Every structure is written in structure tokens, then in C-alpha cells.
Amino acid sequence: MKFSYPIVNADIVAHRGASNVTPENTLASVRKTAEMGAKWIETDVRLTADLKLVMIHDETLDRTTNSSGTVLSKTLGEIQALDAGSWFHQDFAGEIAPDLEEYLDCVIECGLNLQLEVKEVPGLERELVERVAVVLREKWPTGKRPIYLSGFSERCLRYAAEIIPDIPRCIALVAAPQYPAALVKEIGCQMIHIQDIPYNTPARFGLLKSSGVEFAVATVDDPKRARELLDMGAQSILSDNPALL
Ligand code: G3P
Ligand code: CA
């Protein structure tokens, strides 16, 4: 499959939406991202007990809802009955964790491009990618509006390459790899994400840049640092602040 590069044609990807001013991964965070002028939004999708897809970053409900326990232990209906806004601020009381369909509708309505991160439960990688693929086929105007799939799970990315080969893929890493081009070839993906940690020195960024592999850095909320990273060859920056630059 031939993709056109860069896959991300903007400096900023809004990490979990406008998560600096709204509860992450909610529809409020999508709308705010568009209002703040970003072109790209990032979000996290995971499976529920009834194998539906819900937009929640953590494995558990504890941090971002008024309940507790794992997402995988509750049905989508049970999760959507929870408050996913009050933990952030009372102004967002009643905000719910959207399912993938309603999230995509909102992203499209807001005119945003999407980084969809698959949050796997080990053992359910295929179920996750298959279900995501069905919804993307139904909802996303692939080829007309930019999108890419990302994840820390190589297994998920391999399944995605098989099931939805027309959607580009990004491996999320922590450290900048020694051989970026070999790594993306091995996994069958087109992009690398790394984190902004001291291990990733300018020399490591040099290796990434000279490999020619598109890469981005997560998660950066300091505009000066974001500029430095872009100057070192990052194609884009994931930030909680959609208006960082
Ligand atoms: O692709 C990397 C980025 O999505 C990381 O996000 O917050 O899920 O680790 P996070
Ligand atoms: Ca993420």
C-alpha cells in the first residue's frame, strides 16, 4: 500500500483532545480541540466486557470516571452510565465516555484528522482490531480525511496491516530505536512515536531523522521544547494543549 508523506501534515496532534482544559477523550475534548484550532486529534480506544469499543485511556475506570474496576469488567452500557467529566471539573459533570461510533461522528463533524490509538488487552488483540476495522469501514471517509492507527502493541499493528491495510500505522515506543527503518519494516508500519525522555538525546534524534522514517514525540506541553523537537526532525508533537504553537 502506498501512502503519501508526511502522514501528519501539522505540527501538533492534540493528545486525548484538549486535555488541558476538558476531560480527556470526551466529546467535549473533541469540540474544544477544533475550537482551539488544531487539525489533528489523538484518542484511545479499548474493549468493554461485551466487546464493544469505548474511548478510555486507562485500563481501569478509577481515574477518569466516578467508578472503579477494569474497563474490561463492565459492559458499554454500564460504562456509559458513569460520569466521565466530574473528575476533571464540575463544569463537565454528566459528560460520558463515548463509544467509537459517536466519537468518530464528532471528529468528522468538527473537521479533524485522527490518530486512533488501540489500547489492547493481551489476548484480545485480534478482537480489538477486527471491531475497530468494522467501525472505521462504516464511519471513516478513508482516503478523503487523514487518519492513522497507533499502538504500543506490535501484534495489533500486524493485525491492522492485514485487516485494514489502507490505513497507515504507527508504532508507539518510549526510546528512539537504533535502527528505525529496519524496525518499521519488521512491524509493517509507517511511523514511530517516542517519548520525550532524557535517553532520547540529540544524537538519537539524529539517527531517527537520518533514517527518513516519519516520527513524532509525546507528550510535550512546553512550546520551546516542542520547537526544539520539530527542529530536530520530528514531524509532529503530541500535546495536551492543542494551541501550543
Ligand atoms: O502514540 C503515542 C501517544 O498516543 C501516547 O499516548 O498517553 O496513551 O501514552 P498515551
Ligand atoms: Ca494515547
Q: Give residue-wise pLDDT tens across range 129-159.
A: 999 999 999 999 999 999 999 999 999 999 9
pLDDT of residue 64: 98
pLDDT of residue 185: 97
Q: pTM for this one? A: 0.98
The pLDDT confidence band at residue 68, using thresholds 50, 70 and 90, is very high
Closest atom of ligand 1 to 119 CA is 8
H and E: helices and strands count for the chain: 8, 9
**107 and 114 Cβ atoms separated by less than 8 Å:** yes
**Rounded distance between C-alpha atoms, residue 191 and residue 60, angstroms:** 28
Express as a percent the part of the chain with pLDDT over 70: 100
pLDDT of residue 156: 98
Dihedral through CA 201, CA 7, CA 105, CA 134, nearest 10?
-100
**159 and 129 Cβ atoms separated by less than 8 Å:** yes
CA angle at residue 229 from 228 to 233, to 5 degrees? 115
**47 and 71 Cβ atoms separated by less than 8 Å:** yes
Beta bridge partners of 41: 14, 114
What type of residue is 83?
D
**Rounded distance between C-alpha atoms, residue 238 and residue 216, angstroms:** 7
Helix extents (H) in 41-82: 76-80
pLDDT tops 90 at residue 33: yes
Q: How many CB atoms lie within 10 A of CB 202?
A: 9
- Pocket probe for ligand 1: among 219, 235, 236, 237, the residue whose CB has the most ligand atoms within 8 Å is 219
Catalytic residue among 15, 131, 158, 204: 15
Dihedral through CA 9, CA 244, CA 239, CA 165, nearest 10?
-10
**Rounded distance between C-alpha atoms, residue 224 and residue 196, angstroms:** 13
- Pocket probe for ligand 1: among 117, 200, 217, 220, the residue whose CB has the most ligand atoms within 8 Å is 117
Express as a percent the part of the chain with pLDDT over 90: 99
Taking alpha carbons only, the member of 153, 208, 197 closest to residue 175 is 197
- Grid cell digits, residue 191: 511511523
Residue position matching grid coordinates 531523522: 209
> What is the distance between the terminal CA atoms of the chain, rounded to a whole angstrom?
33
Give the CATH class of 12-239.
alpha beta
pLDDT tops 90 at residue 22: yes
pLDDT tops 90 at residue 1: no
